[in-house]
A and B are shown apart, each in its own frame.
Chain A
């Protein structure tokens, strides 16, 4: 078989030398799907631009306006409606929201992640949990928050519960995938030695995937910070996001948006640098 293929290649290149054109790569299913996907995406993009409701927007004007705004935002930031200390405190609130959601999400996700891992649970339980996760993830976070806000009232309580839903969904997926990477032999050996399910889970499975779990959890913390900013703006969860929303939609103060953007940017980049450090440390440990 292999020889035949190589022979084919040789004749193909010979044909090529003789001036006959041969396709450089045989067209298999993967190549077809790749091209088709790219084509469909390009076609939909063109159609999207054609179908947008521009509302008689002068595109060039708006674009120039945006550049001017960006200049104001990033080069002339100031704080007018609140002080530096207040902004710092609001950032702490946003970080607090992110922390609580990540913690609650992680605790719940460890349990369900164990049940969702195919090698630790039955096929049926795993499928049930995985489809629940797909459902939870399909509802955008802001909708979860707003749905809970009807019961708990707008504010941090609804925000934390709503955001926790997505964290759980995300972390169950991440955790169970890293649990599934554990060697079958280890579990079988422990089972043979008479260890029960809890012992296997907490003495073997979790310790062996703890580095993955830490890096996934921290990544989720980073995401939750961004989500918390957005929830402050869209669902009244408080924190720096709410101030940003006020500056943009209420005071129409571009420079204040700039100052707030710098605050958010500083925290986000700090978290990213920190995450990179954790990752490096875990890799070498």
Chain B
């Protein structure tokens, strides 16, 4: 009997591994991914990086320009996350199971959030490029829509998790809708909400680099400019500055999380 269980388990594992292998081979064929070339390129990339990809004294002269662009990117990321959080809070209160006004409204807000979440920021950037051109606003709105979709989902789950019992208790005492929201739901979930906003800011800075590449603004554009003109030393300086900024923000948000959660 027990041998049967083990044999069955083994067969299941084997079938799963075979399926995984088949899908892998299929994926390799249609993407034209060359495994050998892939593995060979890792040492090659490291070698190349050691030889060319480090900032030199010459590239340091470009630092003020780069820092200026970095500041723009940071501000865009923060502003997009913060403004999106305001809208996301509204939508998540209307969409959450415990606080929604009625089921119909809830379903609609959830549907809107799903559409926004599943269109990638890169797609938003390409769509918005038509009317906003190469200005900071293209990146801002792309990040705003992306953040809005993600934060609405995160906020909805947080509110569902945090406020079930207290909302019921307050309803029983006859408290009004707005006093329930402002006295109970928001205060009890604010630490988690802030934590999500900070996470969004970190993510946004990474996405902002990508959007900058696509739309020609911010730090991503600066990197692309030096990369395409083969000025790898300056491009590497851009990477170093981005890493420093992201690690700094991560450190700050980890500190805030530790204190408030």
Contacts and interface: CB of A to CB of B under 8 A. Distances in A.
Question: Are A and B a genuine interacting pair, yes or no?
Answer: yes
Interface stretch (A9-17, A131-139, A179-187): A131-139
B115 interface: yes
Contact of A57 (B42, B135, B210, B223): B135
Interface stretch (B95-103, B126-134, B158-166): B126-134
B173 interface: no
A2 interface: no
A70 B115 CA distance: 13
A27 interface: no
Nearest to A229: B120
A259 to B, nearest CB: 12
Interface in B83-103: 83
A51 interface: yes
A203 interface: no
Interface in A226-269: 226, 229-230, 233-234, 238-239, 241, 244-245, 248-249, 252, 254, 257, 261, 264-265, 268-269
Contacts of B132: 57, 62, 66
Q: Which of B30, B141, B191, B194 has the largest number of chain A CB atoms within 10 A?
A: B30
Contacts of A252: 130
A138 B246 contact: yes
A192 interface: no
B56 interface: no
Contact of B30 (A44, A54, A61, A92): A92
A147 B53 CA distance: 9
A171 interface: no
B225 interface: no
B210 A230 contact: yes
B33 A265 contact: no
A29 B24 CA distance: 52
Contact of A143 (B26, B33, B223): B223
Contact of B242 (A37, A42, A140, A239): A140
Contact of B31 (A54, A156, A161, A254): A156
Given A99-B27, A142-B209, A62 B246 contact: no
Contacts of B246: 137-138
Contacts of A249: 126, 129
A52 B140 contact: yes
Contacts of B31: 93, 96-97, 100, 156, 160, 238-239
A103 B114 CA distance: 26
B124 to A, nearest CB: 10
A48 B223 CA distance: 22
A272 B114 contact: yes
A152 B48 CA distance: 11
Contacts of A92: 30
B15 interface: no
A178 B31 CA distance: 32
Contact of B210 (A47, A142, A151, A157): A142
Interface of A: 29-30, 33-34, 37-38, 41-42, 44-45, 47-49, 51-55, 57, 59, 61-63, 65-66, 69-70, 73, 89, 92-93, 95-97, 99-100, 103, 134-135, 137-143, 146-148, 150-152, 155-158, 160-161, 226, 229-230, 233-234, 238-239, 241, 244-245, 248-249, 252, 254, 257, 261, 264-265, 268-269, 272
13 contacts: A54-B135, A55-B134, A57-B133, A66-B132, A96-B26, A96-B31, A100-B24, A103-B20, A142-B213, A147-B45, A150-B45, A241-B122, A257-B127
Interface of B: 20, 23-24, 26-28, 30-34, 37-38, 41-42, 44-45, 47-49, 53, 72, 75-76, 78-79, 81-83, 114-115, 118-123, 126-137, 140-141, 190-191, 194, 197-198, 205-207, 209-210, 213-214, 220, 223, 227, 232, 239, 242-243, 246-247, 250, 256, 259-260
**8 smallest beta-carbon distances between A and B, as pairs:** A65-B131, A152-B41, A48-B75, A230-B122, A96-B27, A48-B79, A268-B118, A151-B45
